[in-house]
Each structure stands twice: as structure tokens, then as C-alpha cells.
Structure 1
Amino acid sequence: MTEELLKSDSILDEIKNWELAEKIIEVDEKQVKLVIFSLDHHVFAFLGTEVREILPADGITWIPGATEFIPGVINIRGDIEAVIDLRQVLGFADTRKKQGFFIMAQANEQSNAILVDSIIDVLDVPVSTLNQPMINLDIKLSQLIMNQLESNGKVVSILSVSRIVDQVVV
């Protein structure tokens, strides 16, 4: 008799587990693709929807009379693109030791090459991991940051390409 009770208890437990499993609904959380890069020991990102491609930084042609934000232009398969020096836009000192990379970005119906130090990763992250920017940020930097998140123990600031372009054009 006790053996029958043990069997019935185990069957009832299995039924409860199945019922609980049926109540669990898998939800695909919305993801966002980020291109994560470094600049002067800081970690930033652009939305993947704003990035067309990543190229080694090479062949900048200087333009007389251009602002300090635009060191020149590059020729990408016959298209002339302005180069934006993100270090200058953010007000960082020019401590670049190597060429770096161009992140070919699209914003405001305009394509630009944004100069960065190195590419760290391209990630898909859940939208729920994005946070509002910290309020104690430098005013210049806070105007360019859309969101922040933590990745590998570091705060990653997600920059807006359109805000950067707007600041450079003005």
C-alpha cells in the first residue's frame, strides 16, 4: 500500500510540473545590435542599424579649411566620405598611437567615416539591459549618449551617430 502511495505521489508531482511548465511562456525579448569600440580607454557603442561597415583607418586626404572635427576625406570604392574624428568631438586629447578604424555610419541621410581606436565586439543585447545615461556625465558627452549598459564589467555608452553629425555640421 505504501508503495502505491509513493507511485501516486510521484505521478501527482509530475502532473504539477507539467502544468507549471505549460504556464511558462517563452518570450523572445527584443534585441538590439551594438558595435562596441574603444576610444582613449573609454568604451562606446553605436547601434548596428547606424553602421554600414568597419574598415582599417587609412588614406585620409586633408581638406584645407575643414574644422578640427573633420581631419579630411576618404575614398571608399569611388564614394568620397568625410572623416569625423570622434576624439576631437568628445574633447579627448590626441593620444592616438596607431591608425585605428573607420566605422562607416549612416545618419541624417548622410554617410560618414568615424575614426575610433579599436573595435571590441559586435553584440546582440536585450533592450531591457539598456539604461538611461548617468546624470553625472560631462555635459558635452551627455548630449551625445542615448543609453548605457554594462558589458564585461565596463560601462558602455551608446552614442547617437545623428547627434554627432549634427554637432560636427553646426
Structure 2
Amino acid sequence: MEQDGKNFLSPDRILTEVRKSLKTRNVVDVEEDQVKMVVLAVGGQRYALHGKDVKEILQGREIHPVPFLPTYIPGLVNVRGEIEAAIDLGRLLGSEKRPHPKGLIAMVQKGRFRAAMLVDEVVDVVDIPLTRVGPPLSSLSGVLRELVSGTVEFSGEALALLDVEKLVARVTP
């Protein structure tokens, strides 16, 4: 259409052109905020911990038994001259008792609390977008329900995100 010798676009034509333009635009993903997670295997299950709470991974530490401790604390370990409580995460979560003469340890720290968590394997350390951290699954039960603060998607699997602060509250008087 022309009006007074100039090209004239109706509002409908303008909207149509804008819609076409929006459909053909390349959408560029903005980098999402990420959080570092440590994926652990314990008792045949995988769990995640916030990377900021895991200070180091150690191998081959002897566990020195101490009588009258809860079953999920098989004893103490010496970490470069510091004596730390060894927490059997599998036992705490309800797995059967297993021997731990020397095991893989994830040293966790939250505030002044520091402990050696016995784990079967460190599966991976990954950066996960915050949008992939969800609420805890409603199907969780028992101690696991008390210790989980969320769910993390990892390799197509929903992992329970263990909360070290809740763990501290559970294992300290």
C-alpha cells in the first residue's frame, strides 16, 4: 500500500514482520550461574555434596576404633596430625555394616565442624547450573529425608543433595 507516494505498512503487517524476525533470530544462551558438586557413591547409591563443603579426598587412612560410639562412627582417623571422626555415610544412611580397614575419605567441613566421611567412590566433580538444583524428592524417607536439601540432575539421574549442615546437626550432640 502507498499513502501520499510513500510506502505504508499497516500495524498488522508490522506485527507480522516482527514475528518473522523473532522466529529467525538465533537465541544465544546466557551463561547460567553454576555450583560445583562432588558426586559420591555410597552403598550402591550416588549422592551429591556441595563442592565448597568438601575440602579434600584422601585414600588409605587407617580407622582406629573407639568403643561406645554410634554405629555410623567406626572410629577416628589421623589426617596430617589432626584427629578426625570417621563417619560411615553408608551406615548413617541405613546400609549394612561393611569393614573399613582403609577407605576412601571425603573430608568435609562446615564452620568449625570437620569430619572424615567414608565413601565407596568419588564419581565426579562437576559444575551444575543452579537451575538444575531442585527440591528434595517427596519419596525420600528415614534419615536420608532429614539429611537432604535438594535434588541434582547428573547424567540423567536425580541425585539426593546431602546437606553437610544437617549432617552436623545429626552427628553432634
In which range does the TM-score fall when normalised by the shorter chain? 0.7 to 0.9
Partners in 2 of 1:84 and 1:105 — Cα distance? 10
The equivalent residue for 1:68 is: 71
Whether the aligned pair in 2 keeps the contact of 1:40 and 1:95 (CA below 8 Å) is no
Q: 5 Å matches for 1:20-99?
A: 20=25, 27-95=30-98, 99=102
Whether the aligned pair in 1 keeps the contact of 2:62 and 2:103 (CA below 8 Å) is no
Q: Once superposed, which parts of structure 1, at least 4 consecutive aligned residues long, lie more than 2 Å away?
A: 24-28, 94-100
Answer 1 or 2: which has greater strand percent: 2
Where 1:134 maps in the other structure, the secondary structure is: coil
1:121 is aligned, of 119, 124, 130, to 124
The equivalent residue for 1:8 is: none
Gaps of 5+ in 2: 1-20
The equivalent residue for 2:16 is: none
What whole-Å deviation, never above 9, does each CA across 1:99-141 have from its counterpart, x for those lacking one? Answer: 5410000024111100111110000010000111111111321
Whether the aligned pair in 2 keeps the contact of 1:96 and 1:117 (CA below 8 Å) is no
**How many correspondences in the alignment?**
152
The root-mean-square deviation of aligned C-alpha atoms, in Å, is: 2.2
Partners in 2 of 1:146 and 1:55 — Cα distance? 25
Whether the aligned pair in 2 keeps the contact of 1:31 and 1:124 (CA below 8 Å) is yes
Answer 1 or 2: which has greater helix percent: 1
TM-score between both structures, scaled by the size of structure 2: 0.78
Sequence identity (%): 32
Whether the aligned pair in 1 keeps the contact of 2:41 and 2:122 (CA below 8 Å) is yes
Partners in 2 of 1:44 and 1:137 — Cα distance? 13
TM-score between both structures, scaled by the size of structure 1: 0.80
Kindly name which structure, 1 or 2, has the bigger radius of gyration based on alpha carbons.
2
The amino acid of 1:166's aligned partner reads A
Whether the aligned pair in 2 keeps the contact of 1:89 and 1:168 (CA below 8 Å) is no
Partners in 2 of 1:157 and 1:96 — Cα distance? 25
The amino acid of 1:32's aligned partner reads V
